[in-house]
Amino acid sequence: MRTVTAAAVAPTVASLAGCRTETSPVTIAAGTEYGTYAVFAGLLADQLRAVSPGLEPTVLSTEGSLDNVRLLRDGEAALGLALEDGLDRIVADMPEAERPVALARIYENYLQLLVTDDSPIREVGDLRGRRVVLGAAGSGAAVTAVVLLEAAGLRTRDLTVRYLGLADGLDRLLEDDVDAVFWSGGIPTPTISKAGDQRPLRMIDLGALAAPMSRQSGYRYSTRKVPPVDYGPPSGGTTIGVPNLLLARRDLPHRVAREIVDVMVSRADLLIPDFVRGLQYLEPATMIQTGRIPLHPGALSAYRALHG
């Protein structure tokens, strides 16, 4: 593991001395292709290349939060994106030395439960007995979806559950092979909008379940107004908001962590996907709010310097 980690994140002696003739590879575990994680990771990689020539970022396509934490643990990635709500459970059984730390709180993900516009499904309780895609098997969306179902009085055994990525899930939905699809990401998500051009889609209003989800899980879920979008709930509506974090391995060199934070702060306006509306946290005062996941010491140093 240490050999892999050294290749993934350790800076060379030359770069530590200030020489930029060699670079430090930084692999970013992102998410499914065309999802918000992948787009954000690509934008971050572009800005790191432009501002920090000593870093060599690479974006890795993954199934999502759980997959990303595993890649960090196994030394196959230096950075990874993950939804905040499931992290306590994901890292609970990991040795302290393998648990990821945070570089920043990035933006808000919106839990989206999608059906065709002509579907009789109007609320979460209507999913009983239905064929439902919870998300990809390694995604944070699947974790959040289970909490939501239980808050609504359902168990996965009450449904026919499938684990698929967003594109595959939407294909099945358009073909009436499934009845609903869960997704967690920015609004609008281009893949969903594109699917809606073929057949109108509709989000189910979920906001009323934030309080019971919080009581059940111990994590404080938030009700969020759905930004204007063609496939949104009738009359606007609400859904569940979950912040996502940019995580790092504990052995990410402090210098690298500081450079990444500096880039995110100085180029925040270039890191927000242009199709995403909603809450953004790319300011130091909110970037440091990473819940129970501690900040990387290098990131903490960068934030202290920014605050003077």
pLDDT tens per residue, range 90-122:
888 899 889 999 999 998 899 999 999 999 999
The structural domain count of the chain equals 2
Rounded alpha-carbon distances, angstroms, from residue 244 to 78, 177, 230, 236, 281:
17, 31, 24, 23, 10
Do residues 189 and 283 share a domain?
no
Q: What is the pLDDT of residue 163?
A: 96
Question: In the structure encoding, which two tokens stand for residue 101, read together?
Answer: 């730390």
DSSP 103-117: EEEEEEEEEEEEEET
Rounded alpha-carbon distances, angstroms, from residue 75 to 11, 20, 67:
15, 24, 12
Do residues 115 and 237 share a domain?
yes
102-135 burial, b at 16+ Cβ within 10 Å, e below that, comes to bbbbbbbbbbbbbbbeebebeebebbeebbbbbb
The amino acid sitting at 248 is A
Do residues 282 and 180 share a domain?
no
Angstrom distance (rounded) from CA 297 to CA 294 = 9
Do residues 119 and 234 share a domain?
yes
Q: What is the pLDDT of residue 236?
A: 78
Do residues 269 and 297 share a domain?
yes
Q: What is the pLDDT of residue 308?
A: 59
Do residues 115 and 238 share a domain?
yes
Q: What is the pLDDT of residue 277?
A: 65
Do residues 168 and 138 share a domain?
yes
Return the CATH number at 133. 3.40.190.10
Backbone angles phi, psi at 295, to 5 degrees: -75, 145
Do residues 181 and 285 share a domain?
no
Contacts of 160 (CB under 8 A, 6+ apart): 129, 130, 131, 132
Q: Domain boundary residue among 224, 242, 260?
A: 242
Residue 274: strand, helix, or coil: coil
Do residues 222 and 257 share a domain?
no
Do residues 151 and 253 share a domain?
no
Could you tell me the residue range of the domain that residue 295 belongs to? Answer: 2-107+244-306
Question: In the structure encoding, which two tokens stand for residue 18, read together?
Answer: 């200030």
Report the chain (308 residues): mean pLDDT per 10 consecutive residues: 35 39 84 84 95 94 92 96 90 90 94 97 98 93 95 97 95 98 91 95 97 94 91 87 96 96 94 73 91 95 87
CB 66 within 8 A of CB 83: no
Do residues 237 and 276 share a domain?
no
Angstrom distance (rounded) from CA 287 to CA 152 = 32
Q: What is the pLDDT of residue 279?
A: 65
Per-residue pLDDT reduced to its tens digit, 11-35: 333 343 344 446 789 999 998 877 7
Q: Using a CB cutoff of 8 Å and minimum separation of 24, what contacts does 87-93 make? A: 87/245, 87/291, 87/292, 87/293, 88/219, 88/292, 89/143, 90/65, 90/66
Q: Domain boundary residue among 191, 226, 242?
A: 242
Q: Domain boundary residue among 219, 242, 265?
A: 242
Do residues 78 and 118 share a domain?
no
